[in-house]
A = this chain, B = another copy of it.
């Protein structure tokens, strides 16, 4: 575990007693445009101390939950396949102990080994995907494992019919063809809740779903996104589902000169921790 980290606000419970585990996964090796999401977990933890632990929208307090922030996975650089394997093994270990996991990226590719691990325990897992970008390319500059192909790779594991996407506003013609042909995008949340029922669900939040005015600090900002409150409301509706894990990815603190993106990320994580 990487020494430069400290727990998310008040998430310092004993691992064994904890229902939820937070882990930072500071990998950004395939970021094509603006790198640096590797710095996100620590910056988010730091920013969390500028928030209260109480959520007025949920009328609940983080203090009432048992959560353990175990710090960051220590990763070397340059060797993608080894790193993805290492992530998968670490997630295996935590799931094995019946914990829910909230992973903080890093880039979006980290969701791939996480889902691989989850499928061993939850073979009928649904994925709800919040993002500006479709991430459905078959390859990106010749690489088939990349932050731009991650949902495509996952769809090959669980099927497109187990994926629901929200907020997508950028992609190639081919990606939007897949979206349209499979009715992936922005489906009514209550209908989705009916479809999923009690089946385990994983939620992946690429923070660039938010409008760049709210969230400039990301690798590939895409104008025309949703507001903070709109995202929280969607997560609120989904909170009744059987959410077994989630991740929050693609904050790039170096492109967040006012630090507000980092605070936004921290507040979304606070809400998620209380939701799940």
Contact across chains for A211 and B223 when beta carbons are under 8 A apart: no
Given A61-B173, A214-B211: A50 touches B220 (CB 8 Å cut-off): yes
Enumerate A48-62 residues with CB–CB distance to B below 8 Å: 49-52, 54, 56-57, 59, 61
Contact across chains for B78 and A143 when beta carbons are under 8 A apart: yes
Residues in B with CB closer than 8 Å to A217 are 258
Contact across chains for B212 and A78 when beta carbons are under 8 A apart: no
Residues in B with CB closer than 8 Å to A259 are 216, 221, 255
Contact across chains for A263 and B221 when beta carbons are under 8 A apart: yes
Contact across chains for B49 and A216 when beta carbons are under 8 A apart: no
Number of copies of this protein chain within its complex = 6
In the docked arrangement, what's the CA distance between A36 and B9, Å?
A: 22
What 1/0 mask marks residues of chain A from 18 to 56 whose CB sits below 8 Å from any chain B CB?
Answer: 000000000011111111101000100110011110101
Residues in B with CB closer than 8 Å to A46 are 4, 42
Contact across chains for B216 and A260 when beta carbons are under 8 A apart: yes
Q: With an 8 A cutoff between CB atoms, is A79 at the interface?
A: yes
Shortest Cβ distance from A56 into chain B, in angstroms? 6
Q: With an 8 A cutoff between CB atoms, is A172 at the interface?
A: yes
Q: With an 8 A cutoff between CB atoms, is A228 at the interface?
A: yes
Chain A count of residues within 8 A CB distance of the other chain: 73
Residues in B with CB closer than 8 Å to A6 are 3-6
Q: With an 8 A cutoff between CB atoms, is A90 at the interface?
A: no
Residues in B with CB closer than 8 Å to A203 are none
In this complex, what residue of B is CB-closest to A168? Answer: B56
Q: With an 8 A cutoff between CB atoms, is A209 at the interface?
A: no
Q: With an 8 A cutoff between CB atoms, is A141 at the interface?
A: yes
Residues in B with CB closer than 8 Å to A251 are none
Q: Can you name 27 A-B residue pairings with CB atoms under 8 Å?
A: A3-B6, A34-B36, A34-B254, A36-B36, A36-B254, A50-B221, A51-B170, A56-B168, A59-B176, A76-B142, A76-B143, A79-B80, A211-B214, A211-B227, A211-B228, A212-B258, A212-B264, A213-B214, A213-B260, A216-B259, A216-B260, A221-B258, A221-B263, A222-B263, A224-B232, A257-B257, A258-B258
- Told that A4-B45, A221-B259, A222-B267 touch, could you supply 15 new A-B pairs with CB distance under 8 A? A3-B9, A34-B254, A42-B46, A54-B171, A56-B176, A57-B169, A61-B173, A77-B143, A78-B143, A78-B145, A213-B228, A216-B258, A223-B267, A255-B258, A256-B258
